[in-house]
Amino acid sequence: MQDDNSSGLLNALGKAGTLIEALPFMRRYSGKSIVVKFGGHAMGEKAFVDSFAADIVLLRQVGAKPVVVHGGGPQIGDMLKRLQIESSFVDGLRITDAATVSVVEMVLAGGINKALVAAIDAAGAMAVGLSGKDARLITADRLAGVQSKSGDMVDLGFVGTPAEINPAVIGALIGADMIPVIAPLGLGRDGETYNINADTAAGAVAGTLGATRLLMLSDVAGVKDRAGNLIPRLTLSEARGLIEDGTVSDGMIPKLETCIRAVEDGAEAAVIMDGRAPHAILVELFTEDGIGTLVCND
């Protein structure tokens, strides 16, 4: 383990003495797949990206098998504005026409993906960037039209949902001691390119791999109760109940639904957590209490 990464772990845990306490957690994740969804405005901040990359490398160094799935909504929006391409949304999903999907692919599979790969390489590991189109890693179905708040059905264009994940591609990279960094694009059975929500793509990958953890890095602390208190742990039935009774609303609903689906499909557990916290991944995995909301089987 490199000295700088060790220091980062100690800083994350808060005191040097807790390094010994973290060892059982490190052993627990040795040899296990951990899928990390990374996104948001912080992706544009070099210091944040470098810190994230160092934490991913440390996971690999202690024997875990990290897989990164990244988003890029803000960056896509910025590029569309620069190119003077208008963009509209329905329930948080970008309407993606032919011109837009070309920009989405350029930004996700080009700039963002390669920047993350370079950061992980610089932190001391070998990373390989790919999109869901490569080797048919993600076969996508076109997402059916959605109903807008006005009641009209809206065609989202080239927006897809994962229909099938090819785990052999990911397994080959991990077997070669490389860290896969995946852009959430899919190849349709019709040969078209589809833009996939990064949360949804990460959940599908985690379920297929039977990942020990799906870490959903967000800009909120996790799921909260009606009083605004963080809920540290939810079973699948409890999570569904919070959606049904309205405790969970707006953008948290699809995130929690993704966690539920990932666990149902084979992941051991999923965590919604604040990815902006220093060394959030390490604190969640290597301390007793963690920092987010863990969703697991009943």
Q: Residue 127 is part of a domain; what is its CATH number? A: 3.40.1160.10
Q: Cα dist. 81→74, 86, 87, 160, 261 in Å?
A: 11, 7, 8, 23, 34
* Residue 242: per-residue pLDDT: 96
More confident residue, 145 or 47: 47
Pull the structure tokens for residue 281.
């991944």
Instruction: Name the pLDDT band for 17 (thresholds 50, 70, 90).
Output: very low
Q: What is the mean pLDDT of residues 169-182?
A: 96
Indicate the pLDDT class of residue 1, thresholds 50, 70 and 90.
very low
What pLDDT shows up at residue 3?
47
Residue type for 45, please?
Answer: E
Say yes or no to pLDDT of 261 above 80.
yes
Average pLDDT over residues 115-132: 95
Say what the pLDDT of residue 151 is: 67
| pLDDT on residue 11 | 58
In the predicted model, what is the mean pLDDT of residues 214-226? Answer: 92
Report residue 19's pLDDT band, with 50, 70 and 90 as the boundaries. Answer: low
- Number of domains the chain is built from: 1
Where do the DSSP E strands lie in the chain? Answer: 33-38, 65-70, 89-90, 93-94, 127-131, 138-142, 146-147, 153-154, 159-165, 179-183, 185-188, 193-196, 213-218, 233-235, 269-274, 293-296
**What per-residue confidence (pLDDT) applies to 217?**
93
How confident is the model over 169-174, as a mean pLDDT? 96
Give 146's pLDDT tier (boundaries 50, 70, 90): confident
Among 51-55, 194-198, 274-278, the range scoring the smallest mean pLDDT is 274-278
Query: Percent of the chain scored above 90 by pLDDT?
Result: 61
Structural domain containing residue 195: 3-296
CA distance 128 to 114: 9
Tokens, residue 248: 């969970």
Residues of the chain by 3-state class (helix, strand, coil), percent to 5: 45, 25, 30
- Residue 75: which of 116, 108, 45 has the closest Cα? 108
Q: Once rounded to an integer, what is the mean pLDDT over residues 278-283?
A: 87
pLDDT over 50 at 130, yes or no: yes
* pLDDT for res 15: 41
Question: Mean pLDDT over residues 34-58, rounded?
Answer: 86
Asked if the model's pLDDT at residue 45 lies above 90, the reply is no
The sheet carrying 65-70 orders its strands as 127-131, 179-183, 65-70, 33-38, 213-218, 269-274, 293-296, 233-235
Query: Does residue 61 surpass a pLDDT of 50?
Result: yes
pLDDT at 48: 86
Q: What pLDDT score was predicted for residue 42?
A: 66
- Tell me: pLDDT of 148 over 90: no
Reply yes or no on whether the pLDDT at 87 is more than 80: no
Percent of the chain with pLDDT strictly greater than 70 = 88
Residues in the chain: 298
